Amino acid sequence: MEHAVNAVEVPTANGHSFSENVDRLVDKAMAVLNIDPALAETIKACQSVLQVRFPVKIHGEVEIFTGWRAIHSEHMLPSKGGIRFATFVNQDEVEALAALMTYKCALADVPFGGAKGGLVIEPAKYEEDDLRKIVSHFTRHLAAKGFMHPATNVPAPDMGAGPREMSWMADAYRHLYPEDINAQACVTGKPVDHGGIEGRTEATGRGVQYALQEFFRHTDDVRKAGLGEGGLSRQSFVIQGFGNVGYHAAKFLTGDDKATLIAIVERDGALVNTEGIDVEKVHQHMLGTGGVHGYPDATYVENGAQVLEMECDILILAAMENQITTGNAERIRARLIVEGANGPVTFDAETILKKQGAVILPDLYINAGGVVVSYFEWTKNLSHMRYGRMQRRHQETQSRHYVTALESTTGQTLPDWMRDELFQGAREIDLVRSGLDDTMREAYRQIREVMSEDPDVDDMRTAAYVIAVNKIARWYRTLGIS
């Protein structure tokens, strides 16, 4: 019998585990809000954690897999958060990520509690059929123990997982509970033809784009970060992690906003080209080879970590936690640091970066796009109907009437392109993007408001935590728990 997994050592940064780092950030916000200690403990505690170990027979050999699902908060239900498929997953990491989900949902006004899951596995090692078998077993364990349900605990994809894995999870759940009319809502991030929603796969990267667009609308914030005028199109950026979040963020920032991608840092090294890197070409190269090595139109650098330190305007960290630590923070030259990943800058590294004048767009704000669109997918599943189905043609007809009225009163004819634009009723993707854009702008507005009202709050992360913790504290106080 082969043990596919053994207990994973909990990594620390400056002696603090990931979940301790999250707690330190929350403590800062709680001090600003003067939260009473019992309530502080209630909010911070991880409410429950399930660990499962289960055997799966693969090519005649039994392997034992280990996974977790942590529920940080159930003050709103369902508890929501992705499932990470990676060899280094451990319970502390899952609990830290579950806590981050609680605060992220509160900040973005997504009415969910926080949860997260992890399965210790190297997905690339397995054939598709075997992987499906492993994911189905994992799902059955989670569901049977009450850690997966459309009303209470809804997973989504995270590192190492995507729509395919989510469709397997949904399928396994539906076979277990065929009488559950809302079974499709047991997981989000599914492919569209399996009950998913248009725009979920791109959502986190799209959210990064909308948040950056909002940042660049505020010239005082841009100036404070020491960035030049002229908006996003004048900025160069480096990205670490070219997976779901990194690829989509890079695609939209270079495609729509004309920013220049000058380096990609991946697991097997980095690519550098200050003239600009072709996002789609690198993406295709990575799909073919599994890494960046061998890509022809950029300089390959074996020591990827070094490239994080190169001169650039924006550094987007979209790989994993603990990437900027006290070990490299002093050498980071980017003016704006974007936490596409969860927890990439440690608590102590942030202090150094702040002293250097860098501005950080924190994870709980900037990567909220995934859970925001998951929320849209979940409500779509509960309504059993795609967004826009009832209104789209009605909107089109109304627009035609407006255009006809406008043209007949003015005696002018609108150009074809304008008529085409006006005649379009909103499709599901239009509504999803509109809802996401609105959420990112609104959260940014709230962050700015807190920073302008309270001089003790001098960074966006603390402001974001203050907003999130305040909303959760209010919820408990209304119930009389404080």
Which of 21, 91, 342, 439 binds ligand NAD (CB under 6 A)? It is 342
Type of residue at 352: I
Q: Which span (54-62, 244-252, 402-410, 444-452) binds ligand NAD, by CB under 6 A?
A: 244-252
Interaction of residue 199 with ligand NAD, rule CB under 6 A: no
Minimum distance of ligand NAD from residue 177's CB (angstroms): 26
Choice between 150 and 243, CB closer to ligand NAD: 243
Residue 182 burial (C-beta neighbours within 10 Å; 0-12, 13-18, 19+) = middle
CB 432 within 8 A of CB 387: yes
274 by DSSP, 3-state: which? coil
Interaction of residue 341 with ligand NAD, rule CB under 6 A: yes
Q: State the alpha helices, DSSP H only, in 154-194.
A: 163-176
116 tagged catalytic: yes
At which residue do the structure tokens 């660049």 appear? 216
Minimum distance of ligand NAD from residue 163's CB (angstroms): 11
Encoded tokens for 259: 């920013």
Choice between 194 and 234, CB closer to ligand NAD: 194
Residue 482's contacts (CB-CB under 8 Å, 6 or more residues apart) are 36, 38, 39, 473, 476
Interaction of residue 118 with ligand NAD, rule CB under 6 A: no
Type of residue at 114: G
Minimum distance of ligand NAD from residue 320's CB (angstroms): 5
Residue 167's contacts (CB-CB under 8 Å, 6 or more residues apart) are 190, 191, 194
Interaction of residue 131 with ligand NAD, rule CB under 6 A: no
| Residue 310 DSSP class | S
**Quick one: which of 222, 138, 148 has its CA closest to 183?**
148
Interaction of residue 159 with ligand NAD, rule CB under 6 A: yes
Choice between 312 and 319, CB closer to ligand NAD: 319
| Active-site residue identified among 44, 80, 104, 116 | 116
Choice between 17 and 42, CB closer to ligand NAD: 17
Choice between 32 and 126, CB closer to ligand NAD: 126
Question: Within positions 391 to 430, which residues make up the interface with ligand NAD, using CB under 6 A?
Answer: none
Strand partners, 16: 13
Contact residues: ligand NAD, CB under 6 A:
157-160, 204, 240-246, 265-267, 304, 318-320, 340-342, 367, 370
Known catalytic residues are: 116
